[in-house]
Amino acid sequence: MQNSSAPALYITGLGSQYPPYLLGAKDLDNLAARFYDVTRPGIKKLLQVNRTTGIDTRSAVRPYKAFATQTDPPSISEIDQFFRQAGVDLAVQACQKALIEAHIAPQQITHTIGVTCTNQGNPGYDFLVARKLNLPPHVDRMLLHGVGCAGGLSILRAAAQIAGGASLRRKPARILAFACELCTPNVRHCLSMAERSMDSDQANIAAALFSDAAAAFVLCNEHAMTQDKQVTPQFELLEWGCDLVPGTAELTIRTKFRLHIYIGYRATLSRHIPEYTKHAIRPMFERLLPLYEEQLKCQPRLGGQLLRPLGIHDFDWALHPGGKAIIDGVAEVLQLSEDQLQATWEIYRTRGNSSSASVLIVLDQLRSESKRTHIVATSFGPGLAIEMALLRRCQVDDNLEG
């Protein structure tokens, strides 16, 4: 008779990569003043917000004095070419870190899953990443689009489903998943939109929030772990889910990155997003928590240990750092302590919002900042969609009380 417990799924390596440049609030002020009329209502409001985001520095693949200061804004063709060099290199570096930590050679990878919302070239950028990493030509590739800032957990969900399917066939799965976003090359288009806006209440603040980064992880099923004795798991993925936030269908039309055939990517954000997101997390957490606890109790490898029911305060929260209002709102509604969101705040303050890569970077950062056994990772994307994953940290005492 088959074991009724779910397949064992482990994150065995994580890697984050930021580009070398940091932008402060004054850098955006100077760029705007050089090319635009900063007395116009939309751009004036954007620059006011730029000084109050709570972000000290944002990571950038190039300083504004380089790529963004040519006479005309870069075209979509130039942005695409730039991404397929600088973005691919950034993703490769993150992947190499994840592979090294996982003690897995590129030739052992069975699947790749990539995501981005700042490039739509063909073949997909994941093809270029795989080629630079010298992955096997027969590797099973997948590339996600249209998931925005939720993308980091979208690829985790996809990886879990693929690995679980491989387990049912008694095959090893070693999945390399990665996210890469280059947001700052679109800053000129964001400023142009802001200059044209006559309604300060409708000002698009994307240029003050978004940054550049890549992140990667390796996820293995139990058959891969059995074969690879030297692999040390970092997290066990026990439960996950996705949902659409009710009443947000119209909101999402005005949200996230949209491709304009002539000028490139236009990042638009609705000011109502924080209000919806802060109320969407608890229902999903409460739906997933009993399933997570059941896995803790029924998995033989965990010894059936669960000393008491778990709650919100037993978890570290790897919350996507989408903006100060989002983080503050979630903390208020869930009554989270400062240390539960320490990694989220640190990434937001020092690097900004790198869209799909951010939540994975927070998860990576969290390993060095806390020792709670239980982790919630959650992020949001167009739809308005919410992604959530519940993980157990493997590198701590197996005291499942938290």
Residue with tokens 């990576």: 364
Does residue 203 surpass a pLDDT of 90?
A: no
* pLDDT tens, residue by residue, 288-311: 999 999 988 876 555 555 667 899
Does residue 336 surpass a pLDDT of 50?
A: yes
Residue 130 near residue 141 (C-beta atoms within 8 A) = yes
* pLDDT tens, residue by residue, 46-63: 999 999 999 999 999 998
- Whole-angstrom CA distances from 80 to 66, 126, 186, 352 are 17, 14, 11, 22
Q: What pLDDT is recorded for position 250?
A: 65
Cα angle 265, 320, 323; round to 5: 70
Which of 182, 161, 142 minimizes the C-alpha distance to 18? 182
Does residue 140 surpass a pLDDT of 60?
A: yes
Cα 251 to chain center, whole Å? 21
Q: What percent of the chain has pLDDT over 90?
A: 68
Q: What pLDDT is recorded for position 119?
A: 93
Q: What pLDDT is recorded for position 121?
A: 87
DSSP E strands, 261-384? 264-268, 315-319, 374-381
Q: Which two tokens stand for residue 139?
A: 């590797």
* pLDDT tens, residue by residue, 345-355: 999 999 999 99
Task: Give the confidence band of 229 by pLDDT, cuts at 50, 70, 90.
Answer: confident
Domains of the chain: 9-235 (3.40.47.10), 236-393 (3.40.47.10)
Catalytic residues: 149
* pLDDT tens, residue by residue, 144-186: 998 999 999 999 999 999 999 999 999 999 999 999 999 999 8
Q: Tell me the C-alpha distance between 102 and 385, whole Å.
A: 30
What's the predicted TM-score (pTM) here?
A: 0.92
Does residue 256 surpass a pLDDT of 60?
A: no
Cα angle 337, 256, 272; round to 5: 55
Residue 215 near residue 361 (C-beta atoms within 8 A) = yes
